Homo-oligomer: A and B are copies of this chain.
Amino acid sequence: MSLTFILGGARSGKSRHAEELIERLSPPWTYIATAQAYDDEMVERIALHRSRRPAPWQTLEAPHDLAAAIANLPSRQPVLVDCLTLWLTNRMLADADLAKEGDALLAALSAHDGEVFVVSNEVGLGIVPDNALARRFRDAQGRLNQKVAAEAQRVVFMVAGLTMPVKG
């Protein structure tokens, strides 16, 4: 595995940057979407993301079993996971053991022999949320981001569509 971790806020250009990075490699590329269309707003967001990815992109949806989707990738195929924040949301709402699933995800990422690009949100830089679920999510996201960043060869922090190097 060679892992690039693209971290940033909402609408900071994370997905676009990840797509630009992977498109420098030989196609085909796999796009693993973790979004689940709960409501119209989300349906619209997914459609917007999809419209940016014509062939030779191959799109998989893995709102829940992300580790299995990664484990089943063709050998050496470059993959973009977009994004950990939606996946973690889905797994928290499904009442999963987030620490354990984070470890399984890391193991699957490490086992893939192609280039991996992982997108995630930094969500801990605002005021402490009022409700306990949001606080729990924020903690889980921070811990997962730390795990992925520790394994990554390259980490960038996105601000206003631009990259700030963090590692590698």
A125-B123, A126-B125 known; A10 vs B139 contact (CB < 8 Å): yes
Residue of A9, A128, A146, A159 most packed against chain B (CB within 10 A):
A159
Instruction: Give the number of residues in A that approach B within 8 Å (Cβ atoms).
Output: 40
CB distance from A36 to the nearest CB of B (A): 14
Q: Is A160 an interface residue (CB 8 A)?
A: yes
Do residues B41 and A132 form an inter-chain contact, with CB atoms below 8 A?
yes
**What are the 4 A-B residue pairs with the smallest beta carbon separation, nearest first?**
A126-B126, A11-B142, A9-B124, A10-B124
| A127 interface residue (CB < 8 Å to B) | yes
Given contacts A11-B142, A148-B160, A162-B149, contact A122 B122 (CB under 8 A): no
